[in-house]
Structure 1
Amino acid sequence: MSAARSEPLTDGVDTELTVDELAARVGVTVRNLRAYSARGLLPPPRMVGRTGYYGREHVARLLLVREMLAEGYSLAMIERTLASAPPTASSATLALHRALLAPWLPPEPEVTTGAELAARAGVAEDTEVIDQLVGLGLVERLDDERIRVLDPALLMAGLQVVSLGVPPEALITAQAQVNEHVRAIARTYVQMFVDTGWRAFVEAGAPHEQLPDILATVGRLQPVAAQAMLAAFRTEMAAEVASAVEVALGELAEPEEV
Structure 2
Amino acid sequence: MGRDSMTGTYGTIYHVTDIPVKVDEAKAPGLTIDEVARRVDMSVRNLREWRALGLLPPPKMQGRVGYYDESQVERLKRIRQLHSQGFPLDLIRRLLDVGAEAGDVLTSFVGDLRAPFREERPPIADLAELARRWGVDDPLPLLERAVALGLIRQRPDGQYEFTNARVAQVGDALQDLGLSAEQTLAATSEVRAHLDGIAEVFHRVWLEHVWQPFVDAGLPRERWSDIRRTLAHVQPVAMEAVIGLFSVAMEAEIEAGIGREVEKVERRMQANGPFAPREPRLQPSTKIR
Question: Given the two structures, how large is their TM-score scaled by the length of structure 2?
Answer: 0.62
Q: Deviations over 1:116-154 (max 9, x none)?
A: 234345x34453433432343433578xxx751341421
Do the aligned residues in 2 keep the contact of 1:45 with 1:54 (CA within 8 Å)?
Answer: no
- Which of 91, 97, 105 aligns to 2:100? It is 91
Write out aligned runs for 1:42-81 (5 A).
43-47=55-59, 48=61, 49-54=64-69, 58=72, 61=75, 64=78, 76-77=84-85, 80=87
Question: Given the two structures, how large is their TM-score scaled by the length of structure 1?
Answer: 0.69
Change (3 A) 1:230 1:88: same
Post-superposition offset of 1:205: 0.9
- Which of 148, 166, 170 aligns to 2:160? It is 148
SS in 1 for 2:97: coil
Q: Which residue of 2 aligns with 1:32?
A: 39
Post-superposition offset of 1:94: 3.1
Q: Which residue of 2 aligns with 1:26?
A: none
The reply to whether residue 18 of structure 1 matches residue 33 of structure 2 is no
Question: Identity over the aligned pairs, expressed in percent?
Answer: 22
Q: Which residue of 1 aligns with 2:235?
A: 222
Change (3 A) 1:220 1:99: farther
- Which of 253, 261, 275 aligns to 1:240? It is 253
Do the aligned residues in 2 keep the contact of 1:19 with 1:52 (CA within 8 Å)?
Answer: yes
In structure 2, distance between residues paired with 1:221 and 1:83 = 28
- Which of 123, 129, 147 aligns to 1:134? It is 147
In structure 2, distance between residues paired with 1:217 and 1:177 = 32
Q: Which residue of 2 aligns with 1:12?
A: none
Letter in 1 for 2:102: T
Q: Which has the higher helix share?
A: 1
Change (3 A) 1:33 1:89: farther
In structure 2, distance between residues paired with 1:131 and 1:185 = 24
In structure 2, distance between residues paired with 1:90 and 1:135 = 31
The structure with the larger Rg is: 2
Q: Deviations over 1:192-235 (max 9, x none)?
A: 12112211111111110000111222333432211111111110
SS in 2 for 1:80: coil
In structure 1, distance between residues paired with 2:209 and 2:87 = 27
In structure 2, distance between residues paired with 1:215 and 1:32 = 34
Number of equivalences: 223
- Which of 202, 209, 233 aligns to 1:189? It is 202
- Aligned Cα RMSD in Å? 3.7
Do the aligned residues in 2 keep the contact of 1:140 with 1:148 (CA within 8 Å)?
Answer: yes
The reply to whether residue 179 of structure 1 matches residue 192 of structure 2 is yes
Q: Which residue of 2 aligns with 1:3?
A: none
Higher relative CO (CA 8 A, sep ≥ 6), structure 1 or 2? 1
* Structure 2 residues not aligned, in runs of 5+: 1-28, 278-289
Post-superposition offset of 1:113: 3.1
Q: Which residue of 2 aligns with 1:5?
A: none
In structure 1, distance between residues paired with 2:146 and 2:219 = 40
